[in-house]
Structure 1
Amino acid sequence: MMNIATLTMNPTIDVSFETDRVFHTRKMRGRNECHAPGGGGINVARVFVRLGGNARCYYLSGGATGAALDGLIDLHQLVRSRIAIAGETRVSTSVYERGSGHEYRFVTEGPTVSPGEWQDCLDRIGEVRCDYLVVSGSLPRGVPEDFYAQVADRANERDIRVVLDSSGRGLAGGLAGRGIYLVKPSIGELRSLTGRDLASDETIAEAAKGIVDRGEAEHVAVTMGRDGGLLCNASGVLRLPAVPIKAASTVGAGDSFLAAMVHSLASGQAPGDAFRFGLAAGAAAALTPGTDLAQPDEIRRLFADSGASSAR
């Protein structure tokens, strides 16, 4: 059985609902309200388990909202290891405006984590037993920039492959440790990391190849939304188009992509096939409204369709 662990340093309760129109000042009535446990690693675990694997969630949790998050994770029947903090777990909101088809997403910074709390988290991660450790999501305030690199050091000592999906200082600090097996930046995150426009496939490939050549990560999977994605490793560069769909929501697409790609890698598939499976999962997530994530049947259908398209 495939076995992974995920680490979510800044989890959230994802609230989503829809309204006819968005106005300032006026009270707007919402419907189809949904609450789900969120944050990169937790979302990855949800999809990975749906695909038939085992996942243990390590995450920070604090305050009344933290207790609610714990309950939501239990409702999804995920194996969890809660790391207690004093601060309140954040709440994120996604509002779908039916009249325009636009989606509005509100994401807060989250709590400040004390040195004792993040050190406790690091110690707990040192006890992880798994094949892959997926480190996903932003770094909360108070956590040092090289925290993900420290996590990777501890995991690599135990021959655990580390997968990194973060942004800003979490992404830069994690790669600086040169211990990452797979990193998944979006095109926007890669632009921020490099400080370059990356307006062509050639410049994107060059930036990804730089990460590989410097030994920062073995595989670089760049996701580009409707433009598909690019995978770079020592074997070269694979550029694939997006799976053609009519998107209902982009929430959770990146996490669904990563869960499916890691699931495929863990089952022994070649990186290129795993990358294509990930793109199918990202598209499957985009088909679902609100904060829902990719469903296995939809992932496999889109994966099969994308293979048939490639063959033509």
Structure 2
Amino acid sequence: MTAILTITLNPTVDISTQTDMVKPNQKLRCTRPKSDPGGGGINVSRAITLLGGHSTAFVAVGGPVGDKVIHLLTKAGIGLSPFPAPGETRQSFSVIDDSTGQQYRFVLPGPLWPAHSVTDALSRIARAAPRGGLVVLSGSQPPGVPVDFPARLSDRITRTHARLILDTSGKPLHHLCSAGARPAHVLRMDEVEAEGLANAPLTTRDASASFAQSLVHRGLAQTVIVARGADGSVMATADQRWHCAGANVPVVSKVGAGDSFVGAFTLALSRDHALPRALQLGVAAASAAVMTEATQLCRPSDVRRLTPQCPVTKL
């Protein structure tokens, strides 16, 4: 099996709880909080572990909260490659209003990264990247990390022949498109980001697939995936396009669906599954994740059960 390294520059301790009703100017009595290690790459590693795989998490941590992230990852059995962050690791807080079922999420910023920390992190990641393996960059970038970080990372790991799986958004994603670089083996984005890049609504599967294929032809990645919410995901290479339907499941929380997709997809590639099969397993994991609460990810039993309900078709 191909080795996997996930990268999380802006990790968090996700604290989740519930209260009877969210109201202003009152003390809200909450249930006992649950703490999970969070951040895109960490969640990808968690999903891989849940699905019976193994990965190493490169995670930038600092201070007592960073120590807690390390403790939680060690407890979960995830391999670690820690890096000293230039400040205290952040926390995030989510509250479910029991009267409505709505979830309120409060996400704090990470520490400000000076230029030398970015350079040091790139060097450390290049040393940690598995030769011929898979490197997953997922999640938000902390303040101070430049928008061209994914492209710089791709350059640094080239000598290891590792393949970069990139799940990004916002300014780094827009920079990739404007720069026209080829930083990724696989590039994934959600439908909102895709429509923002396309500057047009992508209302049909064909429209999403055509846009994804246009990014491949522009040289951004060898494979581009666009998530379409409940409609599943589309995937395109230079000469092929697929759609995988999401399973019809009750939605409890959409938190972690994208990370579960990336975890299952990456694990499938590491096991030498073909791209359509990897897409199917990713969509099944995303469908399973929306059935769980708060910071929980996909349950393996749900992924197995839902996989046949996520058919892949050529477009």
Fold match by TM threshold 0.5: yes
Q: Distance in 1 between matches of 2:111 and 2:159?
A: 30
CA contact (8 A) 1:138 1:170 kept: no
CA contact (8 A) 1:250 1:285 kept: yes
SS in 2 for 1:127: helix
SS in 2 for 1:94: strand
Q: 1:243 maps to which residue?
A: 247
Q: 1:124 maps to which residue?
A: 124
Deviation at 1:174, TM superposition (A): 4.7
Q: Distance in 2 between matches of 1:108 and 1:128?
A: 28
Question: Which amino acid in structure 2 is aligned with residue 63 of structure 1?
Answer: G
Q: 2:160 maps to which residue?
A: 158
CA contact (8 A) 1:168 1:192 kept: no
CA contact (8 A) 2:123 2:156 kept: no
CA contact (8 A) 1:168 1:193 kept: no
Question: Which amino acid in structure 1 is aligned with residue 12 of structure 2?
Answer: T
CA contact (8 A) 2:81 2:128 kept: no
Q: Distance in 2 between matches of 1:276 and 1:27?
A: 45
Q: 2:188 maps to which residue?
A: 184
Deviation at 1:13, TM superposition (A): 0.9
Q: 1:94 maps to which residue?
A: 94
Question: Which amino acid in structure 2 is aligned with residue 170 of structure 1?
Answer: P
Q: Distance in 2 between matches of 1:194 and 1:93?
A: 33
Q: 1:85 maps to which residue?
A: 85
Q: 1:146 maps to which residue?
A: 148
Counterpart pick for 1:168 among 170, 194, 200: 170
Q: Distance in 2 between matches of 1:198 and 1:304?
A: 27
Deviation at 1:37, TM superposition (A): 0.4
CA shift in 2, pair 1:78/1:174, >3 Å: farther
Deviation at 1:162, TM superposition (A): 0.3
Identity of aligned residues (%): 35
| TM-score between both structures, scaled by the size of structure 1 | 0.93
Residues paired across the two proteins, number: 309
Q: 2:18 maps to which residue?
A: 18
Question: Which amino acid in structure 1 is aligned with residue 247 of structure 2?
Answer: V
CA contact (8 A) 1:149 1:173 kept: no
Where in structure 2 are there 5+ consecutive unaligned residues? none
Q: 2:219 maps to which residue?
A: 215
Counterpart pick for 1:287 among 262, 277, 291: 291
Q: Compare 127-136 and 186-195 and name the one that shifted more.
A: 186-195
Question: Which amino acid in structure 2 is aligned with residue 200 of structure 1?
Answer: T
Where in structure 1 are there 5+ consecutive unaligned residues? none
Q: Distance in 2 between matches of 1:23 and 1:262?
A: 41
Deviation at 1:286, TM superposition (A): 1.0
Does 1:301 find its partner at 2:310? no
Deviation at 1:159, TM superposition (A): 1.1
Q: Distance in 1 between matches of 2:96 and 2:85?
A: 32
Q: Distance in 1 between matches of 2:244 and 2:218?
A: 24
Deviation at 1:143, TM superposition (A): 0.9
Q: Distance in 2 between matches of 1:305 and 1:185?
A: 23
Deviation at 1:178, TM superposition (A): 0.4
Deviation at 1:151, TM superposition (A): 0.7
Deviation at 1:32, TM superposition (A): 4.5
SS in 2 for 1:288: coil
| TM-score between both structures, scaled by the size of structure 2 | 0.93
